[in-house]
Structure 1
Amino acid sequence: MLEPGIESLIPTLVVLITAIVLKRALEALIIGALVGFIMLQQHLFMSGFLNAVLQSISNETVGWIVLTVAMFGSIITLLVKSGSASAFAGSLTRYIKTGPQALMATWGLGLLIFIDDYLNALAVGSAMKKVTDKLKVSREMLAYVVDTTAAPVCILLPFSTWAIYVSGLLESNHVAAVGEGMRAYISAIPYMLYAWVALLMPPLLASGKLPLIGGMRKAQARAAQGQTVPLGFVEDVDADDDKLSDQGRVFNFVVPMLALIGFTWLFNVDILKGAFATLVLIIVMYSAQGLMRLHDIFEHSLTGMKSMVEVIAILIMSFVLKDVNDQLQLTPYVIDVATSWVNPLLLPLITFVSLSLVAFATGTFWGLYAVALPVVIPLANTMGVDVHLMIGAVISAGAFGSHACFYSDSTILSAQGSGCPPMAHALTQLPYALIAATITALGFLLIAWL
Structure 2
Amino acid sequence: MARSALSNLIKSRRQSLLATFALGVVVFIDDYLNCLAVSTSVKKLTDVYNVSREKLAYIVDSTAAPMCIIVPISTWAVYFAGLLEENGVAGDGEGIGLYISAIPYMAYAWFALLIVFLVAYGILGDWGPMKKAEARAKAGNPLPEAFVEEQLVSNVQAKRKLSFKANIMNFAFLMILLIVSTVYFEIDLLRGALLSCFVTVVVYWIQGILSFETQVEAIFKGFKVMLYPLSTVVGGFFLKAINDELGMTSYVIEAITSYMTIVIFPAVIFAVMAFLTFATSSSWGLYVLAMPIVFPISLALGVSTPLMIGALLSASSFGSHACFFSDSSLLAAQGAGCSPMQHAFTQFPYAMLGAGLSVVTFLGLGYMMA
CA–CA separation in structure 2 for the residues paired with 1:260 and 1:303 = 21
The CA deviation at 1:333 is 2.2
Amino acid at match of 1:294: F
Q: 2:37 aligns with which of 104, 120, 123?
A: 123
Counterpart of 1:178 in structure 2 is: 92
- The aligned counterpart of 1:445 is 363
**Is this contact kept in 2: 1:372–1:394, CA < 8 A?**
no
Task: Identify the residue that residue 344 of structure 1 maps to in structure 2.
Answer: 262
| Superposed CA offset, 1:225-268 (max 9, x none) | 121111111112167x4431573442655543443333223322
- What's the secondary structure of 1:244's corresponding residue? coil
Contact 2:158-2:209 within 8 A present in 1 as well? no
Aligned residues: 363
Contact 1:369–1:395 (8 Å) recurs in 2: no
CA contact (8 A) 1:170 1:176 kept: yes
User: Distance between the aligned counterparts of 2:178 and 2:337, measured in 1?
Assistant: 20
1:155 deviates by: 0.7
Give the equivalent residue in structure 2 for 1:267.
185
Q: d(CA) in 2 for partners of 1:380 and 1:226?
A: 53
Match of 1:198 among 112, 132, 136: 112
| Amino acid paired to 1:317 | G
**1:235 pairs with 2:149:** yes
Aligned equivalents of 1:257, 1:388: Cα separation in 2: 31
Find the residue that maps to 1:158 and give its secondary structure.
coil
Larger displacement relative to structure 2 (202-211 or 117-126): 202-211
- Can you give the 5+ residue segments of structure 1 that lack an aligned partner in the other structure? 1-83
Please tell me whether residue 142 in structure 1 is matched to residue 21 in structure 2. Answer: no
Report the counterpart of residue 307 of structure 1 in structure 2: 225
Q: How does 1:207-286 map to 2 (within 5 A)?
A: 207-237=121-151, 241-245=154-158, 247-249=160-162, 250=167, 253-286=171-204
Which 10-residue stretch deviates more, 415-424 or 136-145? Answer: 415-424
**For each residue in 1:18-56, what CA deviation from the matched residue of structure 2 results, as whole angstroms up to 9, or x when unmatched?**
xxxxxxxxxxxxxxxxxxxxxxxxxxxxxxxxxxxxxxx
Structure-2 change in CA distance of 1:280 and 1:323 (3 Å): same
Cα offsets for 1:155-177 (capped at 9, x unmatched) = 11111111111111111111112
Distance 2:229 2:180 in 1: 25
Match for residue 22 of structure 2? Answer: 108
Whether the 8 Å CA contact 1:115–1:265 is kept in 2: the answer is no
* CA shift in 2, pair 1:234/1:248, >3 Å: farther
Which amino acid is 2:156 matched to?
A: K
2:80 maps to 1:166: yes
Aligned counterparts of 2:72 and 2:214: Cα–Cα separation in 1: 40
Mapped contact 1:192–1:396 kept (Cα < 8 A)? yes
Residue 323 of structure 1 is matched in structure 2 by: 241
TM-score by length of 1: 0.77
Range that drifts further, 381-390 or 396-405: 381-390
Aligned residues with identical type, % of pairs: 45
- Alpha carbons of structure 1 residues 254 and 175: separation in structure 2 relative to 1, 3 Å: closer
Structure 2 stretches of 5 or more lacking a match? none
Match of 1:297 in 2: 215
| 2:323 aligned to which of 405, 413, 421 | 405
Q: Answer with 202-211 or 135-144: which moved more.
A: 202-211
- Kept in 1, the 8 Å contact 2:329–2:344? The answer is yes
- Once the two structures are superposed, residues 392-429 of structure 1 have per-residue CA deviations (whole angstroms, 9 ceiling, x without a partner) of 11111111001000111111111122222111111111
